[in-house]
Amino acid sequence: MSESKPDTVRAKIVVGSVMLLSACLLFMPQTTGFASPSTQAKRGIDYARLNGAYRFERGGWIYVHLEGSPANIGYQHGALLASEIEDAFKAVRLDSTHRTKRDWNFFRETARDILWPRIDVEYQQELKGIVEGAQAKGVKMDIDDLVALNAFEEVPDYYVPWLNRQQKVANAPKLVSPGNCSAFVATGSYTKDGKIVIAHNNWTSYWSGARWRIIFDIVPTRGHRMLMDGYPGVITSDDDFGVNDAGMVITETTITQFEGFDPKGKPEFVRSRKAMQYATSIDEYVKIMLDGNNGGYANDWLIGDRKTGEIAQLELGLKNHKLWRSKDGYFVGSNFASDPKVIQEETKFDPKNPGSSPNARRARWEQLMKQAKGKIDAAWAEKAMADHYDVVLKKEEADERTLCGHVDSSSRGVPEWEWGANYPGGAVQGKVMDDAMAAAMTLRARIGHPCGADFIAAPFLKAHPEYSWQAPILGDMKAGPWTTFRAGQKSPAGR
C-alpha cells in the first residue's frame, strides 16, 4: 500500500492584523494543505505558535523550517507534519508490535516510566508541543505514543531484548540490534581541497525508509541552528546526518549485534539531538553523548569540526567507548565495531567473516579510500553512496554487500540483523556535504536508493508473501534526484 502523499506547504505562516490573517487563510488552501478555516477554528490551531514556520516539497523530500522556543518548535513540527506523523506512527506501531510480540501498551508504559523521566525539560517541552500541534490537526495520539515513536530505534532493538534476558522470557522472539548505514568522513590529504567531506546513506527497512524524507531546518532560541534529515515526529535526525552553525558535521553507522541497555540512562534520541544542537567541538560532542549513556542505538559516530579541519570516530557502546581523531585521514562506517573491547564484551559480531555485509562493505570502503586519496569531494561522495561493487563476488552486483544496499535482491539476506532472504531493506537515501556546504549550512540529498533504482511494493509482495505482514505499511520507494538544501531556504527554486 502506498503511503499517503502530503500536501505541499510553500507559504510562510504569518500572524498579524486581522486583514493579514484573512489573506493568509485565503491563501492556505492552495498552498499549505491545512484544513478549511472553519475546520481549523474548531480544532483550535494556534497561528501565533506557527509564526515563522513553513514547509515545501522538493526532490521527493519535505523541507520544514522550525524556529523559536522548544514548545513552539514542537508545535510547528506537529502541525506542519501532522499527516506524516500519523502515518509514521501507524507504521512504527505495526512493526514494533509484530517483531517484539508485545502490545502497544507495553511501548506506552516504557515511554512513560522508563524514558520520559530521563528526558531533559527542554525536549519534554518540544515533545509536548509536537503532540499539541498534531492533535490540532486531528491526529489521535498522546505524549506516550510520541515518546515511543521517538524511541523506535532503541526500544524494540535494545531495551526489549535486554528486558527479555532479564525476565528470562520463554520463547522470546530473536531480536538483534540493527546494522544501519554506510558512511565516511575524510580530511587533509585524502580530500581534493584538504578540507572535510562527509557522506552517509541510511540502511533500513523500506517501509521505514520511504518515510525518512524530512529535511529539518531548526532555529532554537538556545543552542545552534541545525540542518539535518529526519523522520516525522522525531526530534533528532535518528539516522544522524547534519550540520550546526558552529561548524560541526555529524553522521554515524550502527554497531552490528550490539547487546546492552541501561534503563536508568538518558534516551539516545535525546542525547543525539542535544549534541547536534549544543556541541561546538569534538570534545563537547563526546561529552554530551556520554552523559547518561543508556546504550540505546549504539553507533560509531563520525564527526567533523570545520573550524579546525579535524575529524573523529566515537565508538559508543555501553560499558566501553573509544575515540579516534585525525587532521589528515578518514574514518569509514558500515556497521562494524573497531575496538576489541567493544567487540568482545558487548557484541556477538564476527569481524573475521569476510562475507558478512558489514565486513564486505568495510573492505570496499578501504579500497575506495585508497584509490581516491587526494580526490575526494562531494561529487565523488555521491558516486560512492551509489557503489554496487561486491568485494566477495568481485563484480558489480547490487546486493547486501554493496555500499548502496539492496537486500531485497539477495537470497542470502543479512542473518546478523535477522533479515531473511530478500528482505525489503537496504539503502533508502543518501546525503553528502563538503566544507563549503557546511560553512553555508547546506547539504545534498537523494531520496530512495542513492543509485537511482526504484523499489515497487506490489510485485515484490506477490513474489515474497513471507513479508505480507508488511503490506499495510510497505509502499513504493522511488528515487529522486540529488537535490541541494540550505538553511533558510524558502522556495524550491534553483538546483
3-class secondary structure for 51-88?
Answer: CCCEEEEECCEEEEEEEECHHHHHHHHHHHCHHHHHHH
pLDDT recorded at residue 316: 98
Q: What is the β-pairing status of strands 248-254 and 182-187?
A: unpaired
Q: What is the β-pairing status of strands 214-220 and 226-230?
A: antiparallel
pLDDT recorded at residue 491: 74
Phi first, then psi: give them for residue 304, nearest 5 degrees: -135, 145
Q: Domains in the chain and their CATH numbers?
A: 182-205+241-452 (3.60.60.20)
pLDDT recorded at residue 43: 57
pTM score, whole prediction = 0.91
Q: What is the β-pairing status of strands 395-396 and 389-390?
A: antiparallel
Longest dimension (CA), the chain: 69
pLDDT recorded at residue 3: 38
pLDDT recorded at residue 493: 53
Distances 425 to 25, 151, 180, 308, 428 between C-alpha atoms, Å: 42, 20, 10, 37, 8
- Where do the DSSP E strands lie in 307-434? 310-316, 321-326, 329-333, 389-390, 395-396, 425-434
Name residues of the chain where pLDDT drops below 50: 1-42, 494-495
Is residue 42 within a helix (H) or strand (E), and if so which, with residue range? helix 37-43
pLDDT recorded at residue 18: 32
What residues pair up with 426 in beta bridges, in sequence order? 204, 406
Helix intervals (H) in 291-347: 340-346
At 391, list the grid cell: 568485494
In terms of Cβ atoms closer than 10 Å to its own Cβ (0-12, 13-18, 19+), residue 45 is: buried
